[in-house]
Amino acid sequence: MDSKKERLLGLVRANPFIGQQELADALGLSRSAVAGHIAALTRERRLLGRAYVLPKEQPIVCIGGSNIDRKLRGIKPLYLGNSNPASQSESLGGVARNVAENLARLGLPVHLLTAVGQDAAGQALLAHARQLGVDTRGSLSAADVPTGSYTAVLNPDGELLLGLAQMDLCERMDPDFLRQCAAQRAQAGLLMLDLNLPRDSVAALLAESRESGTTLLAVAVSGPKMERLPEDLQGLDLLLLNRDELAAATGISLNSEAALNRARKQLGQRGLQRLLLTDGGEPLRFCEDLLGGDWQVLKPPKLKLREVRDVTGAGDAFAAGVCAGLHQDPADLRSACRLGLRLAALTLQSEHSVSPELSPALLER
């Protein structure tokens, strides 16, 4: 063992921003000798990039939408085309933002790259993220466009009847935006994007992943936004979506098991590595070999109807659990799915889009 090199690593662990001259003084070495040790540690992947990032401290970088969630819940069964009495609540939302908050509450290092307006809502979104320990450096703050909003109309049981999204600001997260925040992505241990991003940006991130080898996950947002998924999916490790989104992505009507298999193989032929398919309260499916493998199935925890408070945010919690699991072990998709299901169940039992009951203890089970 090279004791000087190990001591240098210990000093970096204590202070990742320590300078080379400080290291030289502390170790009694020349600056060139310190540079040599740093180069060796970088080759060994024990240090990563600038600021001497340690592998276990690589953040999960979430790129995509942040908005204000407004929920209108019918007090009685809803009748379309009529005025219906409802209760109203408002919270912070957005797929990428919700995933980032879930991950932060699990105690994981998280970086959020998003776009908000320079209004009260936008500043509240960024301030709340920072309070949770989420790094938001590199995010866009626009003076001429309001922060996005999502309005969910729920029936009395908490099921979504209609969702209305005003997410125009996401169009600003274009390839130019990605170039400006490249430094924030360079240190990612895992990268997650949502399909609020423009198609060109999604394609650019896939190309970047092919070159860097960073694990990249994409989370679908809605059926209409599946058109933002490029034809060439090489570089995308995992796609998370539901049946409607899979049908929209492939143009296949999923009315049989054979149709599900055709859709899965089509995505594999386009270069996708792994696929995760949710179906509400039904068992989820995942596949790790889209061309030659079979679906694997996991059942979600059983919840009584009275235990379900609100479905909003449950899908984002599931995605966060998958990200957290793969951040710990990129090869173990089954365990990542189990963690996602636990997080989703907690969120279903909460009135919040992100359950306040999440904690690092969930990663120890």
CATH number, residue 80? 3.40.1190.20
CB atoms within 10 A of CB 31: 13
What pTM, to 2 d.p., does this model score? Answer: 0.79
Q: Which residues contact 257 (CB under 8 A, 6 or more apart)?
A: none
Q: In this structure, what CATH number is given to the domain that contains residue 22? A: 1.10.10
Packing angle, helices 95-105 and 314-328, rounded to 10: 60
CB atoms within 10 A of CB 202: 22
Characterise 235 by phi-psi region: left (phi > 0), alpha (psi -120 to 50), beta (else). left
* Percentage of the chain exceeding pLDDT 90: 64
* Residue 5 to residues 11, 29, 47, 58, Cα–Cα distance (Å): 10, 11, 12, 21
Confidence at residue 244, expressed as pLDDT on a 0 to 100 scale: 96
Q: Phi/psi of residue 134, each to 5°? A: -80, 130
Q: Are residues 123 and 44 in the same domain?
A: no
Averaged pLDDT for residues 122-140 = 94
Q: Are residues 88 and 158 in the same domain?
A: yes
Confidence at residue 179, expressed as pLDDT on a 0 to 100 scale: 94
Which of 71, 69, 134 is closest to 99 using CA atoms?
A: 134
Q: Are residues 300 and 355 in the same domain?
A: yes
Inform me whether the pLDDT recorded for 52 exceeds 60: no
Confidence at residue 311, expressed as pLDDT on a 0 to 100 scale: 62
**Range in 36-40, 49-53, 247-251 with the lowest mean pLDDT:** 49-53
**Range in 18-27, 42-51, 170-179, 343-352 with the lowest mean pLDDT:** 42-51
Averaged pLDDT for residues 254-281 = 95
Averaged pLDDT for residues 304-322 = 76
Q: Are residues 256 and 167 in the same domain?
A: yes
pLDDT tens digit sequence for 64-84? 999 998 889 999 999 888 999
Q: Are residues 46 and 164 in the same domain?
A: no
Inform me whether the pLDDT recorded for 305 exceeds 70: no
Q: pLDDT: is 7 or 288 the higher one? A: 288
Q: Which amino acid is at 84?
A: N
Q: Are residues 305 and 157 in the same domain?
A: yes
Inform me whether the pLDDT recorded for 219 exceeds 90: yes
Q: Are residues 37 and 132 in the same domain?
A: no
Confidence at residue 310, expressed as pLDDT on a 0 to 100 scale: 59
Joined together, the tokens standing for residue 34 give 């310190």
Q: Which domain holds residue 33?
A: 3-51
Q: Are residues 232 and 309 in the same domain?
A: yes
Q: Are residues 295 and 268 in the same domain?
A: yes
Averaged pLDDT for residues 225-245 = 97
Confidence at residue 86, expressed as pLDDT on a 0 to 100 scale: 93
Confidence at residue 56, expressed as pLDDT on a 0 to 100 scale: 54
Confidence at residue 1, expressed as pLDDT on a 0 to 100 scale: 43
Q: Are residues 44 and 83 in the same domain?
A: no
Q: Are residues 91 and 26 in the same domain?
A: no
Q: Are residues 15 and 137 in the same domain?
A: no
**Domain-terminating residue out of 51, 72, 88:** 51
Inform me whether the pLDDT recorded for 92 exceeds 80: yes
Inform me whether the pLDDT recorded for 303 exceeds 70: no
Q: Name the domain count of the chain.
A: 2
